[in-house]
Structure 1
Amino acid sequence: MNLAWKEMKKSKTKFVILGSIVFLISLLTFIISGLANGLSQDNAALIKNLPDGAIYMETAAEETHALSAIDTETQQAVLLEKDGAFAFSVQMGFLLNEQDEQQSVAFVTSTSSAEFPDVSKDEIILDRSLEEQGIKQGDTFTNSQFNGEFTVAGFSDGVKYSHAPVAFVHPNNYAEMYRTEDLQMLFVPEAAGLEAIAGLQSFSVDEFLNTLPSYSAEQLSLSMIVWFLVVISGMLFAIFFYMMNIQKFGLYGILKAIGVKTGALFRMIWVQMLVITAIALTLAVVLSQVFEILAPSGMPFYLPISTTLQLSAVFFAIGFAGATLSGFQIRKAQPLQAIQQGEG
């Protein structure tokens, strides 16, 4: 411990530079992770907010919910047998206000459910993001596929699909708009018991999200960037301590000659890594949480503290691995050879 502190005080510039780089990489990682989570919510909050359970689609739809159509008999049988189950459909569309201005939405309808709001005929319930754009309760909208008018009955919080606000509509209005009474999907909560249903393919919530091309491609790209930055941080530790060890090879030989164990030298490297990482990550976590508070309302940014703690643990683990790998040369060094190399 004393050796680690003495070296950090003596070579503070080198360690400050390393800590600054780790801070910048970890802060960038947290911000990208927050954007990934925010985009995930913005893309599929409607599905992500569902409890644990299974989503069933028609097998013939080949994992494309827009092509799925569950017949009425199957739907009614499942709803009667499974407590808390409901059927629902999602279709992208648009609403027109009195000035014929178009607003893209995701129309959602469902049978009676505790997860989705109940909507009366000719009414809609919109995501609250539209209220922030000036839409008020009582406003009316039309749609080219609908003969009547929709009246805004209220707003729901944080319900998006495919980066569009959700508009909950009555099943009869949905049937008129899309010319079908068959709903696309069934949801069965885990507590009701999950089992195979003839003609239907089941998905967990996460599995269903991966069937959405825009969601899976978006999240895969951002996740690759996050983990690439994490790997870079590990390589940074390995390279930094490797270069430091090369420069101190003669010193290590002297320390070994006077009885300092190899384990003590490893502990010195680990302490230095822990101190640098702890300071850098603390600053990065604080700034990332401040960024979440100050981020513009239109920016899809969501960074729960649990995510930052998980990423911090990964940074510590990979930093430890990088520092340890760089120290293997210490174990191989013989005191006399190290001293000779240092003198040379």
Structure 2
Amino acid sequence: MNLAWKEMKKSNTKFVILGSIVFLISLLTFIISGLANGLSQDNAALIKNLPDGTIYMETAAEETHALSAIDTDTEKQVLMENDGAFAFSIQMGFLLNEQDGQQSVAFATSTGSAEFPDVAKGDIILDRSLEEDGIKQGDIFNNSQLEDEFTVAGFTDGAKYSHAAVAFIHPDDYADMYRTEQMQMLFVPETAQPRTVSGLQSFSTEEFLNTLPSYSAEQLSLSMIVWFLVVISGMLFAIFFYMMNIQKLGLYGILKAIGVKTGALFRMIWTQMLVITAIALILSIAISQLFGRVAPSDMPFHLPVDATLQLTAVFFIIGFFGATLSGLQIRKATPLQAIQQGEESA
């Protein structure tokens, strides 16, 4: 420990440069991770907010929920046999206000569930993001597919789908708009022991999200960037300590000659890595959380605690392996090598 601190004080410029690079990379990683999580919420919060369970859609729909249509008898049987189960549908559409201004929304309806707001016929409940756009309770909207008008009955939080605000409507209004009595999907909570249903394909919540083309492509791209940055940080540790260790092989040989164990030299490197990584991550986490607070409201940024802790652990693990890999040069250091370097310098 003392060796680590002494070297860091003596060569503080080198360690400050490495720490600055790790800080910038980790900050960029946290911000991109926050954007990835934010886009994920903006794209599919309606589904992600569902409890653990199984989602069923028609097998013939080939994993495209917009083409799915659950047989009415099958729906009744599943709902009767599973407590807490419900059927629901989601369809992209639009609302027109009294000035014919158009607002894109995702219409959603269900057979009755605690997970979806209870909406009266003719009413509509919107995601709160539309309230920020000036829409108020009591506003009137219509749709070209429906003769009657909608009245805004209230707002709810965390209801986004395909980057659009969700508009919850009554099943009868949905049936009139889309000319169908059939729901697209069934949801069976985890406690209900889901089973195989003839003609239906089952999905976990995560599996269902991956059937959404926009969601899977978007998250895959951002995840690749995040992990690429994490790998770069590990390579930086390995390269930095490798170059330092090459320069200090003679010093390591002398230390070994006076009785310093190889394990102690490795602990010195690990201590330096931990100090640099800890300081860099504390700063990057603080700034990324501040960024989430001051970012524009229309920027989807969400960095939960579990994602922060996961990335923090990964940075420490990558840093440890990078520093350890570079430290393998310590095993090659011998007292004879130190004497030879001294003779060459003389």
Same fold (TM over 0.5): yes
One-letter amino acid of the structure 1 residue matched with residue 79 of structure 2: L
For structure 1, which segment, 199-208 or 249-258, has the greater mean C-alpha deviation from structure 2 after superposition? 249-258
- Aligned pair count reads 344
Preserved CA contact (<8 Å) 1:249 1:339: no
Question: What CA distance in whole angstroms lies between the structure 2 residues aligned with 1:85 and 1:56?
Answer: 11
Q: Distance in 2 between matches of 1:206 and 1:170?
A: 27
TM superposition outliers: structure 1 runs of 4+ over 4 Å: none
Q: Distance in 1 between matches of 2:58 and 2:299?
A: 36
- The corresponding residue for 1:45 is 45
Residue of structure 1 equivalent to 2:87 = 87
**Whole-Å separation in 1 of the counterparts to 2:279 and 2:331:** 28
Structure 2 gaps, min length 5: none
Deviates more, 1:29-38 or 1:252-261: 252-261
Q: Which one is further off, 137-146 or 159-168?
A: 137-146
**Deviation (angstroms), 1:333:** 2.7
- For the pair 1:129 / 2:121, whether they are aligned, the reply is no
Does the 8 Å contact 1:43/1:163 carry over to 2? yes
Q: Which residue of the partner structure matches residue 146 of structure 1?
A: 146
- The alignment status of 1:165 with 2:165, answered yes or no, reads yes
CA distance in 1, matches of 2:96, 2:330: 72
**In 1, distance between residues paired with 2:309 and 2:338?**
41
Aligned to 2:66: 66
Map 1:166-181 → 2, pairs under 5 A: 166-181=166-181
Is the alpha carbon distance of 1:47 and 1:333 closer, same or farther for their aligned partners in structure 2, counting shifts above 3 Å?
A: same
Q: Secondary structure at the match of 1:114?
A: coil
Question: Counterpart of 1:327 in 2: which secondary structure?
Answer: helix
Q: Give, as a single letter, the amino acid of the residue that structure 2 aligns with 1:28.
A: L
User: What residue in structure 2 maps to residue 276 of structure 1?
Assistant: 276
**Separation in 1, partners of 2:170, 2:305:** 38
In 1, the alpha carbon distance for the partners of 2:296 and 2:288 equals 14
Maintained 8 Å contact 2:250/2:333: no
TM-score normalised per structure 2: 0.98
Q: Distance in 1 between matches of 2:231 and 2:30?
A: 14
For residues 187-198 of structure 1, the aligned pairs below 5 Å read: 187-198=187-198
Q: 1:296–1:229: structure 2 CA closer, same or farther, 3 Å change rule?
A: same
For residues 299-338 of structure 1, the aligned pairs below 5 Å read 299-338=299-338
2:91 and 2:108 in contact (8 A); partners too: yes
Structure 1 residues not aligned, in runs of 5+? none
Which structure 2 residues correspond to residues 7-26 of structure 1 after superposition, within 5 A? Answer: 7-26=7-26
Deviation at 1:335, TM superposition (A): 2.3
User: Contact conserved, 1:250 with 1:343, CA < 8 A, in 2?
Assistant: no
1:29-81 Cα deviation digits (max 9, x unpaired): 00000000000000000000000000000011111101100010000111111
Residues 72 and 2 (structure 1), Cα distance of their counterparts in 2 relative to 1, 3 Å cut: same
Residue 343 to residue 274, structure 1, CA distance change in 2 (3 Å): farther
Distance 1:45 1:320 in 2: 36
Note the alpha carbon deviations across 1:247-285, whole angstroms, 9 max, x for none: 111111111111111111101100000010111111111
- Taking only aligned residues, the RMSD between alpha carbons, in angstroms, comes to 0.9
Q: Secondary structure at the match of 2:155?
A: strand
- Whole-angstrom distance in 1 between the partners of 2:20 and 2:340: 35
